[in-house]
Structure 1
Amino acid sequence: MNNPGFPNRQADDRHPEWQYLDLMRHIWQHGSERVDRTGVGTKSVFGAILRFDLADGKMPLLTTKRVYWKTATREMLWFLTGDTNIRELCRQNVQIWTDWPLETYRRETGSEITREEFSAKIVKDEVFAARWGELGPVYGKQWVDWPTYQYQPDGTYRKGPGINQVAEVIESLRNNQGSRRHIIEGWNVAQLDQMALPPCHKTYQFHVSDGRLNCALYQRSCDVALGLPFNLWSAALLQRMIAQQTDLEPGEFVWMGGDTHLYLNHGDLVEEQLSRGPEGKPRLEIGRRPDTIFDYSIEDFTVADYLPQGALKAPIAV
């Protein structure tokens, strides 16, 4: 399915990655220029849709630049632990979340410590990590330990057991496939101000059709150049793991963006990537089926037929 208003190619030339490139081009040429939270400025559109068929191991892994899929996979596995401290990520040299606590540390201490020095200290010093590595109740906390509160006769509330949304969705997919409530939600309004960054990829809904598991992700805010390549891979990876755990075949992955934007200082990356065309059809192989979705490890995943073009870098807006 093609997006209205985006440039289209003939069906026989329609590599699935063209959807991403067409969206990037449309935003860069026609997006509304806006002042954003970071102060950098963006070009933005509202309401975008991308669709990918995950049959036969196919994955939305971009080839017009190198996407570090192992880094994105380690982040997803970390989400599933419910951890909210960057220490374990830094231990694996995954720096996706380091900039937010680093900015806080620099602001509160006046230090000019580099990201490399900060990350190394997080790994080495448990006390330092506990003080400065916390992100608040971000994604994983909401996914596997959503807080609940029970009303008491005296009019007060007592904290109840946390809800593991991921486990509950898997259970409902096994026992009630026709349900319209297969949802994992990250947008906990009561805790947004405690999070280093409120969830961008906020709502996942799953749907079963003819033995295939489909997934729709709604993303409220999307950095198309740097964030979306990771988001596409990670969501499809989650879908593939849940499909395996529920004895379903992978179906269609549908991505939906709210404020979908390119940062104004990403122009060089955008122009270079738009000069390239997709190549190859990367596929994901999952080497084993662990007892639960919480027991996968990075060694379980292998990507075949991935020959990406050169890496493209741009500054992240914090």
Structure 2
Amino acid sequence: MNQADKTYLDLCKYILENGTKKEDRTGTGTISIFGYQMRFNLQEGFPLLTTKRVPFKLIVSELLWFLKGDTNVRYLLENNNHIWDEWGFQKWTESDEYKGPDMKNFGLRSQQDEEFNVLYQEQLKIYQDKVLNDDEFAAKFGDLGNVYGKQWRSWEGADGKTYDQIQYIINEIKRNPDSRRLLCNAWSASELDNQQLPPCHYAFQFYVVDGKLSCMFNMRSNDVFLGLPFNIASYAVLTHLIAHECGLKVGELIYTGADVHIYSNHIEQINTQLEREPRKLPTIKLNTEKESIFDFELEDIELVGYNPHGSIKAPVAV
């Protein structure tokens, strides 16, 4: 059994056996624990789960979106990535400019009412098309506020200056790999009201030893079934990219979660996944002609040898 799937499935079992039922912002309900850590050895393979298919291209395009400092979903839609659509859609449907049918609580209602789901899908398609083709609409309703890309690349300091935290980390690794300040923080208390979704993975830190780069990322809140497999793979790609630019090998990826939860409408899916036997982990291949991580595009990051079980569908709690 590969250790990445085992480590993740152990967490799922632990929550089901020891978690507490809690209400949540979305109204869905969760089984939750507080405080959990997992470690993944990146030398043993790329930690993309094999007990269900996880869409690697979506993970990479989202990460590149962050690294570009972008906060508008247009880039994601251009790359057929819809994982942030609901947040921009909510912004539009709650505005005075929206004139369509009532979309209040669309996340839950679309799961429970097929007739409403048809209306929801129609309005969502209108939203997507307008973001792609209407610059003014995209600027107003495609932008999600000062989310990850803004905080990573253009952090606003109390001194009025902006700071590129990713570039700082790269420069420091090259200059002083023993630094204990190789840290990026996405949680800006003064900007929470200007973010469509406050950061869930709010901080990460790098560590260099024996020519290997390790990363620890921290999450305040984590949807274990849908979100966590993406988060693990995304920070693994980021670690590979920064190690590449800095001339290092990869070491460990460490996850630290606070409110770690399984949504009540994901329990059946989790149980299905727990019944599956893990398979060999894939690897990733980077375009070595690209020197800066900011020059990478989707086609420069290749997944090799991925042979997972089939995907398992589940609704997103918005």
The verdict on a shared fold, with TM-score over 0.5 as the criterion, is yes
State the shift of 1:110 in Å: 4.7
State the shift of 1:14 in Å: 5.8
Q: Which residue of 2 aligns with 1:34?
A: 22
Residues 100, 123 of structure 2: 8 Å contact kept:
no
Alpha-carbon separation, structure 1, partners of 2:61 and 2:93: 26
State the shift of 1:17 in Å: 1.0
Residues 80, 143 of structure 1: 8 Å contact kept:
yes
String of CA shifts for 1:77-128, please: whole Å, max 9, x gaps.
Answer: 0101111111111111111111011112223325244323311221011111
Query: Which of 134, 138, 144 matches 1:129?
Result: 138
Q: Which residue of 2 aligns with 1:166?
A: 166
TM-score, normalised relative to structure 1: 0.90
State the shift of 1:262 in Å: 0.4
Alpha-carbon separation, structure 2, partners of 1:198 and 1:19: 27
String of CA shifts for 1:48-105, please: whole Å, max 9, x gaps.
Answer: 111111126x211000111001111000001011111111111111111110111122
Count of residue pairs the alignment pairs up: 296
Alpha-carbon separation, structure 2, partners of 1:228 and 1:289: 31
Query: Which of 53, 56, 59 matches 2:41?
Result: 53
Please provide the CA RMSD for this pair.
1.3
Query: Which of 117, 135, 150 matches 1:141?
Result: 150
Alpha-carbon separation, structure 2, partners of 1:240 and 1:83: 21
- Bigger proportion of residues as helix: 2
Residues 2, 279 of structure 2: 8 Å contact kept:
no
Residues 212, 250 of structure 1: 8 Å contact kept:
yes
Alpha-carbon separation, structure 2, partners of 1:138 and 1:236: 20
String of CA shifts for 1:148-193, please: whole Å, max 9, x gaps.
Answer: 243xxxxxxxx33x10000000000011111110001101111111
Q: Which residue of 1 aligns with 2:8?
A: 20
3-state SS of the aligned residue for 1:114?
helix
Structure 1 residue runs without a partner (length 5+): 1-12, 151-158
3-state SS of the aligned residue for 1:262?
strand
Q: Which residue of 2 aligns with 1:8?
A: none
Residues 82, 140 of structure 1: 8 Å contact kept:
yes
Alpha-carbon separation, structure 1, partners of 2:189 and 2:128: 30
Structure 2 residue runs without a partner (length 5+): 102-121
Alpha-carbon separation, structure 2, partners of 1:121 and 1:106: 13
TM-score, normalised relative to structure 2: 0.90
Residues 243, 249 of structure 2: 8 Å contact kept:
yes
CA shift in 2, pair 1:110/1:263, >3 Å:
farther
Query: Which of 110, 120, 123 matches 2:129?
Result: 120
Residues 244, 289 of structure 1: 8 Å contact kept:
no
CA shift in 2, pair 1:254/1:79, >3 Å:
same
**Identity score, percent:** 41
State the shift of 1:220 in Å: 0.9
